[in-house]
Amino acid sequence: MAGVIWTEPALQELDEIADYISLDNPDAAKNLVRNIFNRVDLLEMYPLSGKILVDFETSLYREIVLPPCRIFYRPTAENVYIIHIIREEQRLHFDILESR
C-alpha cells in the first residue's frame, strides 16, 4: 500500500479552484473537494490507476480526470505524490511537473 503525499502547490491549486467555484455554488465546491480527496485516496491501493500522460508517454507522471479538474501525480515504490491540479480546459505545462 502506497502513502499519498500532497504537495503544498497542489493543495493551493485545489483551494483556488474550490474558492472560484464557491463564488457561485458553495455546495458544488465542497462536493468537488470531497470527490477529489476520495478519488486520490484510492491511489493508496491502486497507485497506477491513473492514465499515463499521452503527450509524455515516457513520463513518470500520471493523471486522474475528475471534471472539472485534472490531477497530476507521480507514483514511486513507496508513495504517490500529488503534484499539480488544474481545470480541464487549462493546458498542462510539463515544466511545472518537473519543477515539483
Q: Which tens digits make up the pLDDT trace of 14-55?
A: 999 999 999 999 999 999 999 999 999 999 999 999 998 876
The pLDDT tens digits for 56-85 are: 666 788 999 999 999 999 999 999 999 999
Which grid cell is 16?
483556488
86 DSSP β-pair partners: 70
Backbone dihedral angles phi then psi of residue 93, each to the nearest 5 degrees:
-110, 110
The whole-number pLDDT of residue 88 equals 79
Non-local (6+) Cβ contacts of 15 within 8 A are none
> Domain limits of the chain?
3-99
- Fold adopted by 3-99: YaeB-like fold (3.30.2310)
pTM over 0.75: yes
Q: What is the Cα 56 distance to its own chain's centre?
A: 17
